[in-house]
A = this chain, B = another copy of it.
Amino acid sequence: MIQNLTEDQMTLLVIKALKEGKKTDFQKLLEELHPYDMATIHKNLPEKHKLRFLLQLNIPVLTDMIQELGHEEQLEVLKKLGREKSRKVLDDMDNDDLASLLDDMSPERIKSFLSGMKKEESTIIKNMMNYPSETAGRLMTNRFVWIRNYYTVREAVDKLKTFAEYAETINYLYVIDENRKLVGVVSYRDLLLADINAKIKDIMYERVISVSVLTDQEEIARLIERYDFLAIPVVDEEGVLQGIVTFDDIIDVVIQEANEDIEKLSASGKAIDFDTKAPVAAFRRLPWLILLLFIGLVSGSIISGFQATLQKVVALAFFMPMIAGMTGNTGTQSLAVVVRGLASKDINMKTALKLVGREFVVGVIIGAICSILLFAIAFFWQGSAILGLVVSLSILLTLIIGTLAGTVIPLILYKLKVDPAVASGPLITTINDIFSLLIYFTIASWFLDRLI
């Protein structure tokens, strides 16, 4: 019973089997493991056992395992396998996984990789690599089962059986015409329920939801989520079926897109995870920080412009960080609502205007409440009703403007077809700092005579 083994227990069992050289025990163990488990074991194995482990695996198992590894590890394993075996693995790999591996390589390296492969496989990969990244053309696999509309259910099931091992999904059979154009789809469930002699054209769905080779991965994710599909077909401009995108790739896309939104919202730079080395992480974050440093200096020069005012009423400085901070916070809140909203659906001008109106009202409500609170605080703390008035008037205006900035800036970026999430939280915060200081000191200057 190896039903409930932990990672470490599995690894120990493998080491034991390798050491004792019991081939049948080892094979029996492998049969129960998933590709992800195999990859975990490979990661956990001490270096000296890795090669022996790899040599025990046959090509299909190796292929499944390698697809679960990161790019660096994939290259390491391929190197260890040697030219002959690694060529076979490359031929067998899902073409979307292979395209993703080649993505990071130099053109010469790609060439040498592809040269060893079967002609038909390498041609497919080359074609895929021509599509822009994050499109359907790059995510699709050609391992689907197609049928013709004059097949009977029996013929379709027979074809499915032949391709069951090879196909990435056996849930859908795609119906194509004589020009390979996609004209229908039959689910495996439909086949199970249909009469064995029925014609495919009588049971197929004609309204196939498909995407183009150039469709963005975010759009594909939206369709799969809406329709709960296990796979979606990909067609070219002429409607010719080119491949399918399967749900497992889409779960990865959803996670990746959410992470990208968070990275951008926090301006934390591209792809920093727990394993990123410190200098790499630092230099990925620095560009944003240095930009924000210079924008921050603009705040400084605004204050320096109001030096005389500040010198006369130093108490003004006490409320500076709070007003600037609150304006930044409300902006970040609006920004997050807009960015996440845009990630889940497209919006038109009408919705955008409605949203701006909504956020304006939100700004007025939170501005008014904070303004009343702050008047009381400033009055009791500093004993000056005039200072209370300056502070509360400022917070009312800055919160309204801050909320609007957090809404309008990402919407403008969206309209300009720039990813709205680049208007990161820190950027909005820094811009709102500037707005808020300008407003605060301007209002303070008006009341300067009464403040002293």
**Chain A residues proximal to chain B, CB less than 8 Å:** 1-3, 5, 32-34, 36, 160-161, 164-165, 170-171, 188-189, 192-193, 205-209, 221, 224-228, 230, 247-248, 250-252, 254-255, 258-259, 261-263, 265-269, 272-274, 276-279, 281-283, 285-286, 288-290, 292-293, 296-297, 299-301, 303-304, 307, 310-311, 314-315, 317-322, 324-326, 328-330, 332-337, 339-341, 344-345, 347, 351, 354-355, 358-359, 361-362, 365-366, 369-370, 373-374, 377, 425-426, 429-430, 433, 437
Contact B207 A2 (CB under 8 A): yes
Determine the chain B residues whose CB is within 8 A of the CB of A250 once the complex forms: 251
Q: Are A318 and B303 in contact (CB under 8 A)?
A: yes
Minimal Cβ-Cβ distance residue in B for A367: B282
B266 in contact with A296 (CB, 8 Å): no
Q: Is the CB of A337 within 8 A of B300?
A: no
The secondary-structure label for the interface of chain A is helix
Asked whether B369 lies within 8 Å of A321 as measured between CB atoms, the reply is no
Query: Smallest Cβ distance from A146 to chain B, in angstroms?
Result: 17
Q: Which residues in B have their C-beta under 8 angstroms from that of A329?
A: 267, 288-289, 292, 426, 429-430
A225 CA to B249 CA, complexed, in Å: 9
Contacts of A32 in B (CB 8 A): 205-207
Please provide the 9 A-B residue pairs with the shortest distance between their CB atoms, ordered closest to farther: A258-B258, A296-B322, A266-B336, A278-B361, A282-B365, A228-B248, A300-B318, A268-B333, A299-B321
Nearest B-chain residue to A301, judged by Cβ: B318
Assembled-state Cα–Cα distance A321/B297 (Å)? 8
A170 neighbours in B (Cβ, 8 Å): 188-189, 192
Interchain CB contact under 8 A, A321 and B437 = yes
B255 & A290 in contact (Cβ 8 Å cutoff)? no
A273 contact set on B, CB distance < 8 A? 337, 340-341
Q: Evaluate contact between A300 and B319: CB separation under 8 angstroms.
A: yes
Chain B residues whose CB sits within 8 angstroms of the CB of A205 once the complex forms:
32
Q: Do B322 and A299 have beta carbons less than 8 Å apart?
A: yes
11 A-B residue pairs with CB within 8 Å: A32-B206, A32-B207, A262-B265, A273-B340, A278-B362, A279-B365, A285-B362, A286-B369, A290-B373, A297-B377, A329-B429
Q: How far is the CA of A266 from the CA of B429 in the complex (A)?
A: 11
Complex contact B314–A310 (CB within 8 A): yes
Which of B161, B314, B437 is the one whose CB lies under 8 Å from A307?
A: B314
New contact pairs (10) apart from A2-B206, A188-B188, A267-B333, CB-CB < 8 Å: A164-B193, A171-B171, A258-B262, A266-B332, A266-B335, A266-B336, A273-B337, A278-B362, A304-B315, A310-B314
| Contact (Cβ within 8 A) A254 B258 | yes
Residue in contact with A251 in the complex, picked from B251, B296, B322, CB distance below 8 Å: B251
Q: How far is the CB of A399 from chain B (nearest CB, A)?
A: 8
Let me know if A351 and B192 touch, CB within 8 A: no
